[in-house]
């Protein structure tokens, strides 16, 4: 009896990987959504982690590999939830050949997997090939036995893959599922989304394209395939769209429960909102898990945008309370078997979701206030630009703008909104990043052709070396002379190349009449690039040099790096065992450590951390450094930086009983060499990310000398001993506060005195008393007191508007105040709304209560005109 075809998402994933593992493919774990490739913002394709292998820049992990790679794409974000199969987060199942098998084997296995393992009937399958790929068509027809009518030739736009304008490329062949085979084999149109879904793409990487567009066969041909897990789940689970598969639908049910609705009973608009929430919840949970935090730039912006779309669609469904953490919990539960790191990062994920949702709810409130200001101007229609600004800047849903506008008898310029939206789409497409396998500069090109640099810096600070490559002013060169800025690659080096947060070494290269001052060393893949300046003589490729590291700089870097390890251990012990590193900097004069933590570290905790580290230093722990298999290192308890890539064999730096980390940096032999450790500052650098800056070793003395000099200067200025300075400064602060309070009271009395003479300027408008006047040289509090006092004198019918420049010489600061009596408010006038509108004439805004409000502006030259406008509008309103 044949085994049942896989149906659940987990079964489909396991069956795919098992099928290819049985056929000699090495299973590869999914890479992070944050790629190593600097040319791509996020992992957007299953082949991205193998890009350096396809380029020949890295050794292949095996002749054949298979993976289930998590990916993020936001190019078509507006289609998420509206179509059957657009997603932001998705999983790409792939099998790869690196110069091993090629077209015929890839096609045969793809067909065997689809029809044999997944049980798809050949009657439901259609394949596409590139219009010029006779070979692929012949394999499908003659070897596999596919009906020729169900083999469709497609143009280059659909069936030819390229990494960029130049570089590796080749034809594609895709397998489509036909939901309506009863319509027959004639006139098949694969663009018909209601009938066909493409689920498996085979890329035959067989050519190299040069700048003239000429295709040359590659010496090593590669296979790169991708099968969409969500699409295959839709097919095998026989549901109408990807969202109703077991990969997403549990999240839709969670959101529906929070909203108190039934997904099946909703209209298309409501279903779309639930689909968006389900899709985006997976994406944001995985992004945060991989170390992305919400911000206004790069990956952080993508995360923030997805988070806010979830909240917006929740509000459209009637969810009126924070709910992102509930969706995060559900997402972790749904995906934790395939991605156990979600459980390890659970607290970090939920904390980030809660913080960002709270921020966005505040933003939504600002958007609602902005819409109120737009409506207060009584427009005939809300413009498309205004609606789009609310949507794009404040995250305010268009549907909500339309609903509020309708309540006021207005419409929204939807064509204008769509025009603004389309302009944004075009900007997004123009900025979209494709996978370019050819993006290289001079050093990158050289590094791709060179063997890895032999690093001897753990054992020695001086070593004979040969110049393998030379770049002068950004261009490859054979020779350089005194005065030239150079980058060079050596066959062997004692210089540490920047990595793992540690700065590269400094030092000198010397040879026959030549001296090169090296001010930094970086790494390009495994090639160390030495940057500096030729101080004397000339240098050529092939020259022999003596490479000598600056010993003092290295010692300082070592002290700071080991201190960073002690700092992480102390944070885990004092603050939270779950604290994880988010980045670090080990410089010659300081160290910086970023870590995930939802709150500030208290002063008492910082003091405890500092004492703990200095205690470990004084205990003189000898460090033990050894290389071992990564699984053995993790089993021993070695701490790895989350998201960092590690080889199968890793370097473990152990401070026995204190700290054990995977680290390729340089360290002291004994903690006593550090000398002292001093925390300089603790601060927040991003949502949920804290930073501690500190100094260690010789840098502590320089830091203390600087502070000592400041204390001496303060003592001399305040005529106080060091221990008395804090008390003396406190006394001065109290005296200043009292003086400021007295001055404010005096200015308020002065304002009241000045305003007393203004009562006579009030004019009668109907049953009301209107007073609009200018009063310079008075701060906001005084102006408010003056306006309130005048309104009290004029009675319930008073409408008082005062404006002025606190400093008549400064036209950049304007203050406007309105005070309205009860009868004026009953007439429909509110001080807050009125004065906010008047302030716009001075380039500002503001608001407040109906009876008393203050606004500000930045254009003092426009003040008189603003006051005249206030007089005219109030006269018309009250007359």
3-class SS string, 306-361: HHHHHHHHHHHCCCCCCCHHHHHHHHHHHHCCCCCHHHHCHHHHHHHHHHHHHHHH
Cα 63 to Cα 456: distance, rounded to the nearest angstrom: 31
CA 809 → CA 312, 801, 812, distances in Å?
A: 47, 22, 9
Pairing verdict, β 659-662 and 798-804: unpaired
What's the confidence (pLDDT) of residue 641?
66
Position 404 pLDDT exceeds 80: no
The Cβ-side half-sphere exposure at 567, using a 13 Å CA radius, reads 32
Cα 31 to Cα 11: distance, rounded to the nearest angstrom: 21
> Hey, which residues does 198 pair with through a beta bridge?
176
Cα 598 to Cα 722: distance, rounded to the nearest angstrom: 36
Residue 25, number of CB atoms within 10 A of its CB? 22
Give the confidence band of 125 by pLDDT, cuts at 50, 70, 90.
very high
Average pLDDT over every residue of 509-530? 90
Cα 279 to Cα 411: distance, rounded to the nearest angstrom: 31
What's the confidence (pLDDT) of residue 428?
47
Higher-scoring residue by pLDDT: 757, 677: 677
Residue 802: phi and psi, rounded to 5, are -120, 140
Say whether 739 sits in a helix, a strand or coil: helix
Average pLDDT over every residue of 557-577? 93
Cα 812 to Cα 485: distance, rounded to the nearest angstrom: 48
Give the angle 616-620-621 at the CA atoms, nearest 5°. Answer: 75
DSSP for 619-684? TTPBPEEEEEEHHHHHHTT-B--TT----SEEEEEEETTTEEEE--S---SBGGGG--EEEEEEEE
Cα 562 to Cα 253: distance, rounded to the nearest angstrom: 49
Describe the strand order of the beta sheet including 649-655 as a list of residue ranges. Answer: 624-629, 649-655, 659-662
List, for residues 240-267, the tens digit of each pLDDT value.
999 999 999 999 999 999 999 999 999 9
Give the confidence band of 392 by pLDDT, cuts at 50, 70, 90.
confident
Handedness of CA 772, 775, 779, 781 (dihedral sign): negative
Handedness of CA 712, 714, 720, 725 (dihedral sign): negative
What's the confidence (pLDDT) of residue 436?
44
Pairing verdict, β 196-209 and 167-178: antiparallel
Average pLDDT over every residue of 149-171? 85
Buried-state track 409-438, b at ≥16 Cβ within 10 A, e below 16 = ebebbeebbeebbeeeeeeeeeeeeebbbe
Average pLDDT over every residue of 854-868? 92
Position 430 pLDDT exceeds 50: no
List, for residues 828-840, the tens digit of each pLDDT value.
999 989 998 999 9
- Residue 581 · residue 641 · CB < 8 Å: yes
Describe the strand order of the beta sheet including 845-848 as a list of residue ranges. Answer: 763-765, 768-774, 798-804, 814-820, 852-857, 845-848
> Hey, which residues does 510 pair with through a beta bridge?
515, 546
Position 401 pLDDT exceeds 50: yes
List, for residues 42-84, the tens digit of each pLDDT value.
888 888 888 878 877 778 889 999 999 999 988 778 788 888 8
Cα 537 to Cα 543: distance, rounded to the nearest angstrom: 12
What's the confidence (pLDDT) of residue 822?
93
For the ranges 24-28, 50-54, 201-205, 308-312, the lowest mean pLDDT is seen at 50-54
Cα 145 to Cα 126: distance, rounded to the nearest angstrom: 12
Cα 78 to Cα 870: distance, rounded to the nearest angstrom: 44
Average pLDDT over every residue of 708-714? 81
List, for residues 188-220, the tens digit of each pLDDT value.
999 898 899 999 999 999 988 887 888 888 878
pTM: 0.57
Buried-state track 250-283, b at ≥16 Cβ within 10 A, e below 16 = ebbebbbebbebebeebeeebbbbbbbbbbbbbb
What's the confidence (pLDDT) of residue 748?
67
Calculate the dihedral angle through the C-alpha atoms of 164, 165, 171, 174, rounding to the nearest 10 degrees: 50
- Residue 493 · residue 454 · CB < 8 Å: yes
Average pLDDT over every residue of 771-800? 89
Pairing verdict, β 544-549 and 507-510: antiparallel
What's the confidence (pLDDT) of residue 289?
92
Largest CA distance in the chain: 104
List, for residues 601-660, the tens digit of each pLDDT value.
999 999 999 999 999 999 999 999 998 888 888 788 888 765 566 677 888 999 999 999
Average pLDDT over every residue of 436-457? 68
Give the angle 598-603-608 at the CA atoms, nearest 5°. Answer: 100
Position 396 pLDDT exceeds 60: yes
What's the confidence (pLDDT) of residue 432?
39
What's the confidence (pLDDT) of residue 393?
66
Cα 372 to Cα 364: distance, rounded to the nearest angstrom: 12
Closest listed residue to residue 54, CA positions, set 172, 213, 220: 220
Pairing verdict, β 544-549 and 538-540: unpaired
Cα 751 to Cα 616: distance, rounded to the nearest angstrom: 64
- Residue 824 · residue 806 · CB < 8 Å: no
List, for residues 362-375, the tens digit of each pLDDT value.
777 777 788 888 88
- Residue 421 · residue 388 · CB < 8 Å: yes
Cα 251 to Cα 274: distance, rounded to the nearest angstrom: 9
Pairing verdict, β 492-493 and 454-455: parallel
- Residue 857 · residue 842 · CB < 8 Å: yes
What's the confidence (pLDDT) of residue 727?
79
For the ranges 168-182, 363-377, 520-534, 756-770, the lowest mean pLDDT is seen at 363-377
Closest listed residue to residue 701, CA positions, set 713, 693, 690, 709: 709
For the ranges 18-27, 50-59, 589-598, 836-845, the lowest mean pLDDT is seen at 50-59
Closest listed residue to residue 878, CA positions, set 728, 720, 731, 762: 762
Percent of the chain as helix, strand, coil, to the nearest 5: 45, 25, 30
> What is the pLDDT of the chain when averaged over all its residues?
87
Higher-scoring residue by pLDDT: 408, 236: 236
């Amino acid at each position: 009896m044949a085994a049942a075809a896989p149906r659940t998402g987990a079964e489909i994933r396991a069956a795919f990987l098992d099928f290819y593992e049985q056929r000699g493919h090495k299973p590869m774990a999914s890479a992070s959504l944050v790629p190593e490739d600097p040319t791509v913002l996020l992992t957007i394709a299953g082949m991205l982690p193998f890009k350096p292998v396809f380029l020949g820049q890295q050794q292949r992990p095996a002749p054949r590999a298979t993976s289930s790679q998590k990916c993020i794409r936001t190019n078509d974000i507006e289609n998420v939830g509206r179509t059957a199969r657009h997603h932001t987060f998705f999983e790409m199942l792939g099998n790869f050949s690196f110069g091993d098998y090629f077209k015929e084997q890839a096609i045969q296995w793809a067909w065997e997997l689809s029809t044999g393992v997944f049980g798809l009937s050949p009657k439901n399958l259609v394949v596409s090939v590139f219009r010029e790929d006779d070979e692929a068509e012949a394999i499908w027809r003659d070897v596999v036995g596919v009906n020729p009518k169900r083999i469709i030739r497609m143009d280059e736009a659909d069936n030819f893959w390229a990494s960029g304008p130049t570089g590796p490329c080749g034809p594609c062949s895709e397998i489509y599922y036909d939901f309506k085979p009863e319509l027959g084999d004639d006139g098949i149109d694969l663009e018909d989304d209601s009938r066909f879904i493409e689920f498996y793409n085979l890329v035959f990487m067989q050519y190299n394209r040069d700048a003239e567009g000429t295709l040359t066969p590659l010496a090593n041909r590669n296979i790169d395939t991708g099968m969409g897990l969500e699409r295959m789940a839709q097919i095998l689970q026989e549901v109408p769209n990807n969202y109703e598969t077991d990969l997403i639908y549990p999240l839709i049910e969670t959101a529906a429960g929070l909203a108190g609705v039934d997904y099946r009973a909703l209209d298309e608009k409501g279903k779309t909102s639930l689909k968006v929430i389900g899709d985006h919840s997976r994406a944001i949970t995985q992004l945060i898990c991989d170390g992305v935090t919400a911000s206004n730039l790069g990956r952080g912006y993508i995360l923030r945008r997805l988070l806010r779309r979830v909240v917006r669609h929740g509000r459209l469904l009637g969810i009126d309370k924070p709910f992102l953490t509930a969706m995060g919990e559900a997402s972790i539960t749904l995906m934790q078997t395939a991605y156990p790191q979600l459980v390890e990062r659970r607290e970090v994920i939920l904390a980030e979701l809660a913080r960002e949702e709270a921020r966005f709810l505040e933003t939504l409130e600002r958007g609602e206030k902005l819409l109120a200001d737009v409506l207060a101007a009584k427009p005939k229609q809300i413009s498309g630009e205004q609606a789009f600004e609310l949507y794009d800047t404040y995250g305010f849903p268009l549907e909500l703008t339309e609903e509020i506008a309708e309540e006021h008898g207005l419409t929204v310029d939807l064509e204008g909104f769509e025009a603004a939206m389309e302009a944004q789409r075009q900007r997004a497409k123009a900025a979209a990043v494709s996978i370019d396998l050819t993006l290289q500069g001079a050093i990158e090109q050289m590094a791709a052709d060179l063997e890895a640099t032999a690093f001897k810096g753990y054992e020695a600070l001086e070593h004979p070396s040969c110049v393998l490559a030379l770049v002068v002013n950004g261009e490859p060169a054979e020779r350089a002379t005194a005065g030239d800025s150079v980058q060079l690659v050596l066959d062997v080096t004692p210089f540490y190349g920047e990595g793992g947060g540690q700065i590269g070494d400094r030092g000198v290269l010397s040879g026959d009449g030549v001296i090169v001052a090296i001010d930094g060393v970086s790494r390009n893949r495994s090639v160390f690039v030495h940057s500096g300046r030729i101080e004397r003589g000339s240098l050529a490729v092939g020259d022999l040099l003596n490479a000598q590291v600056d010993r003092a700089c290295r010692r300082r870097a070592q002290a700071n790096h080991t201190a960073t390890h002690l700092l992480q251990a102390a944070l885990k012990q004092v603050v939270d065992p779950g604290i994880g590193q988010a980045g670090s900097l080990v410089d010659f004069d300081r160290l910086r450590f970023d870590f995930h933590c939802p709150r500030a570290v208290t002063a008492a905790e910082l003091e405890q951390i500092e004492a703990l580290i200095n205690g470990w230093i004084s205990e003189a722990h000898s460090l033990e450094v050894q290389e071992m298999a990564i699984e053995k290192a993790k089993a021993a308890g070695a701490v790895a930086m989350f998201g960092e890539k590690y080889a199968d064999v890793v370097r473990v730096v152990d401070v026995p009983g204190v700290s054990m980390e995977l680290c390729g940096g340089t360290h002291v032999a004994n903690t006593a060499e550090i000398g002292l450790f001093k925390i300089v500052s603790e601060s927040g650098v991003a949502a949920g990310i804290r930073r501690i800056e500190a100094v260690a070793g010789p840098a502590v003395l320089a830091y203390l000398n600087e502070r000592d000099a400041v204390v001496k200067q303060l003592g001399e200025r305040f005529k106080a001993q060091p221990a008395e300075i804090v008390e003396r400064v406190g006394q001065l602060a109290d005296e200043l506060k009292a003086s400021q309070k007295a001055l404010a009271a005096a200015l308020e009395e002065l304002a009241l005195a000045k305003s007393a003479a203004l009562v006579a300027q009030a004019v009668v408008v109907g049953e009301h008393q209107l007073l609009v006047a200018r009063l310079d040289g008075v701060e906001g509090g005084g102006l408010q007191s003056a306006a309130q006092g005048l309104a009290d004198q004029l009675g319930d019918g008073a409408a008082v508007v005062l404006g002025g420049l606190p400093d008549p010489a400064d036209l950049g600061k304007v203050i406007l105040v309105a005070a309205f009596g009860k009868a004026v408010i009953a007439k429909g006038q509110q001080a807050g709304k009125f004065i906010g509108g008047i302030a716009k004439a001075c380039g500002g805004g503001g608001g407040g209560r109906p009876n008393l409000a203050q606004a500000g502006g930045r254009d003092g030259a426009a003040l008189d005109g603003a006051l005249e406008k206030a007089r005219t509008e109030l006269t018309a309103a009250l007359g």
